Chains A and B, each alone.
Chain A
Amino acid sequence: MFRPMGPLALQKRLGAPENQDVKKRAFMLGGRKAWLVYIDGMASEQFLTEFVLRHAPETPPGPPRGWDDLLTSFIAVTGATPAKDEDALLYSILDGQAALFVMGVMQVLLLDVRGYEKRPVGPPSGENVVLGAQEGFVENQRTNITLIRRQLRSPDLIAKIVRVGGQSKVNVCLLYMKGAADEGLVQSIEEKLAAIDTDVPAGAGFVEQLLVDKPLSLLPHTCMTERPDRSASFLREGQVVLLVEGAPYAIALPVTFFHLMNTPDDTFMRWQYGTFIRIVRYIALVFALFLPAFYLALVTYHQELIPLELLMSIARARADVPFSVLAEVLIMDFAFWLVDQSGTRIPRILGGALGIFGALILGQAAADAKIVSPLMIIVVALSSLGSYAIPNYSLARTVQIMQLVYIFAAVLGGFFALSCAIFVTFVYACASESFGVPFFAPLAPRQRANPDLFIRWPLYKQKDTSSMLRRRKKVRP
């Protein structure tokens, strides 16, 4: 049995007296001296006063017959468990719980009286939908689990809490649907989480980076979402969802290309509208990836493919521009990245002004100053808009980087070099797997799965929802 340290030793272990927010409160419980140790601000003093300290004087004298007796009769806190070991004791206090010591009792009771400040549930900031719920995750893990449970009221939904990290541990909640998720996958994720021994700051990004098999891969292997309904949808499909403490995002894994490209809007709308917006998004992806490279290849190497009127128009527009087409593309691309980055950092109130300044004034001024041709502005604007239409942030960044690779390939050898670059990059993408699931599954390798890929078929045709994620052993090409 775990023999805990005393309240004074615990206080010292937590850094007191230098650490002034570690509090110790002595009181009488059942005629014995008792102590509460907690961290000010993390545990709610109001809870402690109302549900523990107020009832303590009413406790009849005499030794308590055990914790159960104490809990049922006097302590009105629902979450109360004995500490199992020293690590758990320390971590629970750091997490906002309070430790209850009673003189003569060789156990410490942990009272869940967490009461730190938290943000209320609000609309998601980066995954807005026209139809559908306007609820997004917050930084509080418990609230996030509740949000998912409200979407998925099933006894098969399992939520396991794993403590991850070296010295400063973070709670990671591993959610999956029993029966739908691959048990081997759940086990391997648990093992990977347990194996993380670096200090993880609270945030989903760190855990994601430490989890992926190939850290050098450019493609995203997980999907971050701030929507509880989307997380519930992932869980229904047999994916595992991780909720990291302090992160207003859920990590879903494994993912395929289609998980990264589809949005909740597609499902909320009728299938005809959903299909339409989905096709627009895929065209946007093609624009974002290939349009500048295609334009460069055409203008530099394959002028014979351009209709004469358009060719003349391009020649007239480029006549006064002193830079090469490549320089034009790079200048404009860089300008858009600048607008993008400053838009992220700038105060929200100035965002609109920045957009107008960046997109209109800068573009117009560049064209007037003959630095870039108007056609190039259209090409780069279309490709940039295309990259913003990609719903997944990581995939959008991958596309931006790949766009550069294709641009350089097109400059070096027109369509031929572009074809070679596409060949190599797509073969690598085909070889890429997210936790055993191929990136382009269920298209390549072909699998029997939910047909909800490019076309959002009617819901009655989408019965086979869990088979999209067959892992390596079971996949068919």
Chain B
Amino acid sequence: MTRFSYDLHPREKQILFTIAFLSRLTAGALSTSWEELGNALYLGSLLSFALACILAALVNGLCTKYQCGLFDAVERAMGKWAATAVRILALCLSLLSARNMLITLSTLTTLLALPRASYTIVMIVCAVTALLAALCSLKALARYARLVAYIMAPAIVVIVLMTAANATPAFLFPLGGHGLGRILRYGLYASGEYFSIILIGALYNKNYSPRENSRALWRAVGWAGAISFALFLCASLSFPYTTRGFSPLFELLGHLSAGTTSQSFSAVFIFIWCAAFLTTLCTQYGVSALLLNRLAKGRLRFVPVLAAIAVFSVLLSLIDPQSALFRGLDSIIQATGPVLITLFALCWFVSCLKERRKRKEAAYE
């Protein structure tokens, strides 16, 4: 497992984290699987982002307090069993998140780039591609993400400029017609999934100061949040939600494909979204492999584990969306966000109590 290790520089972590966060946020907006959500996606994204920030703050706080990785911090605060439970939960979430990323990428590809292609084959191709890249290392992935970021930046500027040209401020905050329940449901769902991404932020490197580790995490959250919400805002400024079931960014892509002036940019967008989604998928494979290996006390072999994870993610993606199993798995994601926030808050509380007791004992002695 030398190729896969937690030994990431905070800046490497930051770039991977930013890409993962960005692609997750845009994946939410691109997704067409939630019917009649409309603006709930936008508002739900805001809610989930806020919850993700709370999660990130708790994770960062625990890691900084104990100056170690998240799981070690949980172990020190609550004991071995709590750390193992969080690891198992994190593994489940990482796999489910990989499934969601695979579904979104395959849907996007079959709808926009290859309408005649088989959905399953596209999904397998995505998984194999991610697996092949994951065989390098998280470090190589971070380097690639940095290269792509140089191309991504002008592309995002182009999107913002193009959509801002068609802006209609009347659609800035179209709140009506969507229930609070839906917004909450989507918000909770997404926040649970963000945890799998926050895991990258929780890869604490002891060779660097807590400040550097912490800064990398918050910079990534800041960058990804700012860029994604700029895109969301542009999309909501430009497109009225008349079509049910279509998200704003999806409409934006449709516009790009059908338009006359901007049509030649489509190829660039396909490349960029593919790169961002595949990087995230790869990272999730890598993080899942790390978690699984840690649970197996380092006895697993690198290549078979990654291959097994890729196969498993494809199998998970092939489950019928209407089935009870699919809904059950989604319920796990939906429930995880609040559960983890409570758990980490409890960890924090317990650690504070322990500290207080130690201080008292020291004062007594």
Instruction: Establish whether residues A302 and B146, one from each chain, have CB atoms under 8 Å apart when the complex forms.
Output: no
Instruction: Establish whether residues A416 and B114, one from each chain, have CB atoms under 8 Å apart when the complex forms.
Output: yes
Which 6 pairs between the two chains have the least Cβ-Cβ distance?
A: A431-B140, A419-B274, A430-B143, A431-B136, A477-B12, A444-B143
0/1 per residue, B270-285, Cβ < 8 Å to A? 1100110011001000
Instruction: Establish whether residues B143 and A305, one from each chain, have CB atoms under 8 Å apart when the complex forms.
Output: no
Instruction: Establish whether residues B114 and A414, one from each chain, have CB atoms under 8 Å apart when the complex forms.
Output: yes
The segment from B175-183, B222-230, B259-267 that touches chain A is: B259-267
Within 8 A of B (CB), among A393-442: 413-420, 422-424, 426-428, 430-431, 438, 440
CB-CB under 8 A from A57, the residues of chain B are: none
0/1 per residue, B1-32, Cβ < 8 Å to A? 00000000101100100000000000000000
Instruction: Establish whether residues B9 and A477, one from each chain, have CB atoms under 8 Å apart when the complex forms.
Output: yes
Within 8 A of B (CB), among A286-309: 294, 297-298, 301-302, 304-305
Known contacts A413-B117, A424-B129, A443-B147: A419-B270 contact under CB 8 Å:
yes
Instruction: Establish whether residues B137 and A431, one from each chain, have CB atoms under 8 Å apart when the complex forms.
Output: yes
Is there a chain B Cβ closer than 8 Å to A446's Cβ? yes
Distance A431 CA – B136 CA, assembled complex (angstroms): 6
Chain A interface (Cβ < 8 Å from any Cβ of B): 294, 297-298, 301-302, 304-305, 413-420, 422-424, 426-428, 430-431, 438, 440, 443-446, 476-477
Known contacts A416-B270, A420-B278: A430-B144 contact under CB 8 Å:
yes
Known contacts A428-B136, A444-B147, A476-B11: A420-B266 contact under CB 8 Å:
no
Instruction: Establish whether residues A440 and B143, one from each chain, have CB atoms under 8 Å apart when the complex forms.
Output: yes
Known contacts A305-B264, A416-B109: A430-B271 contact under CB 8 Å:
no
Which residue of A has the minimal Cβ distance to B128? A420
Distance A294 CA – B263 CA, assembled complex (angstroms): 15
Known contacts A414-B113, A427-B144: A420-B139 contact under CB 8 Å:
no
CB-CB under 8 A from A297, the residues of chain B are: 267
Instruction: Establish whether residues A420 and B274, one from each chain, have CB atoms under 8 Å apart when the complex forms.
Output: yes
Within 8 A of A (CB), among B112-166: 113-114, 117, 122, 125-126, 129, 132-133, 136-137, 139-144, 146-147, 150
* A415, A418, A426: the one within 8 Å of B144 (CB): A426
Chain B interface (Cβ < 8 Å from any Cβ of A): 9, 11-12, 15, 109, 113-114, 117, 122, 125-126, 129, 132-133, 136-137, 139-144, 146-147, 150, 257, 263-264, 266-267, 270-271, 274-275, 278-279, 282
Distance A424 CA – B131 CA, assembled complex (angstroms): 9
How many contacts A-B (CB < 8 Å)?
Answer: 105
Instruction: Establish whether residues A445 and B146, one from each chain, have CB atoms under 8 Å apart when the complex forms.
Output: yes
Min CB distance A69 to B, Å, is 61
Distance A413 CA – B125 CA, assembled complex (angstroms): 10
Instruction: Establish whether residues A428 and B140, one from each chain, have CB atoms under 8 Å apart when the complex forms.
Output: yes
CB-CB under 8 A from B139, the residues of chain A are: 431, 477
Instruction: Establish whether residues A477 and B15, one from each chain, have CB atoms under 8 Å apart when the complex forms.
Output: yes
Q: List 23 A-B contacts (CB under 8 A).
A: A305-B266, A413-B114, A413-B125, A415-B270, A416-B117, A419-B270, A419-B271, A419-B274, A420-B278, A423-B274, A424-B133, A427-B136, A427-B144, A427-B282, A428-B140, A430-B147, A438-B143, A444-B143, A444-B146, A445-B146, A477-B9, A477-B12, A477-B15
CB-CB under 8 A from A423, the residues of chain B are: 129, 133, 144, 274-275, 278-279
Instruction: Establish whether residues A420 and B126, one from each chain, have CB atoms under 8 Å apart when the complex forms.
Output: yes
Distance A424 CA – B113 CA, assembled complex (angstroms): 19
CB-CB under 8 A from B133, the residues of chain A are: 423-424, 427-428
* Main DSSP-derived SS at the A contact region: helix
CB-CB under 8 A from B144, the residues of chain A are: 423, 426-427, 430, 444
Distance A427 CA – B137 CA, assembled complex (angstroms): 9
Distance A415 CA – B114 CA, assembled complex (angstroms): 9
* A413, A422, A424, A438: the one within 8 Å of B271 (CB): A422
CB-CB under 8 A from A416, the residues of chain B are: 109, 113-114, 117, 122, 270, 274
Which residue of B has the minimal Cβ distance to A446? B146
Instruction: Establish whether residues A420 and B271, one from each chain, have CB atoms under 8 Å apart when the complex forms.
Output: no
Instruction: Establish whether residues A415 and B271, one from each chain, have CB atoms under 8 Å apart when the complex forms.
Output: yes
Instruction: Establish whether residues A430 and B136, one from each chain, have CB atoms under 8 Å apart when the complex forms.
Output: yes
Instruction: Establish whether residues B146 and A304, one from each chain, have CB atoms under 8 Å apart when the complex forms.
Output: no
Which residue of A has the minimal Cβ distance to B108? A416
Min CB distance B200 to A, Å, is 13
CB-CB under 8 A from A417, the residues of chain B are: 125
Distance A422 CA – B267 CA, assembled complex (angstroms): 13
Instruction: Establish whether residues A477 and B143, one from each chain, have CB atoms under 8 Å apart when the complex forms.
Output: yes
Distance A423 CA – B147 CA, assembled complex (angstroms): 11
Distance A416 CA – B122 CA, assembled complex (angstroms): 9
Which residue of A has the minimal Cβ distance to B105? A416
Distance A304 CA – B113 CA, assembled complex (angstroms): 11
CB-CB under 8 A from B150, the residues of chain A are: 443
Min CB distance B19 to A, Å, is 12
Instruction: Establish whether residues B143 and A445, one from each chain, have CB atoms under 8 Å apart when the complex forms.
Output: yes
Distance A379 CA – B365 CA, assembled complex (angstroms): 84
Which residue of B has the minimal Cβ distance to A477? B12
Which residue of A has the minimal Cβ distance to B142? A477
Which residue of B has the minimal Cβ distance to A412? B125
CB-CB under 8 A from A422, the residues of chain B are: 271, 275
CB-CB under 8 A from B271, the residues of chain A are: 415, 418-419, 422
Instruction: Establish whether residues A440 and B11, one from each chain, have CB atoms under 8 Å apart when the complex forms.
Output: no
Instruction: Establish whether residues A302 and B267, one from each chain, have CB atoms under 8 Å apart when the complex forms.
Output: yes
Distance A298 CA – B271 CA, assembled complex (angstroms): 14
Known contacts A413-B114, A431-B136: A426-B122 contact under CB 8 Å:
no
Distance A301 CA – B9 CA, assembled complex (angstroms): 41
Please give 8 more A-B residue pairs, beta carbons under 8 A apart, in addition to A430-B144, A446-B11, A477-B11.
Answer: A302-B266, A305-B263, A414-B114, A416-B113, A416-B274, A427-B144, A430-B141, A440-B143
Instruction: Establish whether residues A427 and B141, one from each chain, have CB atoms under 8 Å apart when the complex forms.
Output: yes
A302, A420, A443, A446: residue with the most chain B Cβ atoms closer than 10 Å = A420
Min CB distance A306 to B, Å, is 9
CB-CB under 8 A from A440, the residues of chain B are: 143, 147
Min CB distance B267 to A, Å, is 5
CB-CB under 8 A from A424, the residues of chain B are: 129, 132-133
Distance A438 CA – B139 CA, assembled complex (angstroms): 11
Min CB distance B90 to A, Å, is 24
CB-CB under 8 A from B274, the residues of chain A are: 416, 419-420, 423
Instruction: Establish whether residues A445 and B12, one from each chain, have CB atoms under 8 Å apart when the complex forms.
Output: yes
CB-CB under 8 A from B266, the residues of chain A are: 302, 305
Min CB distance B141 to A, Å, is 6
Min CB distance A285 to B, Å, is 14
Min CB distance A439 to B, Å, is 9
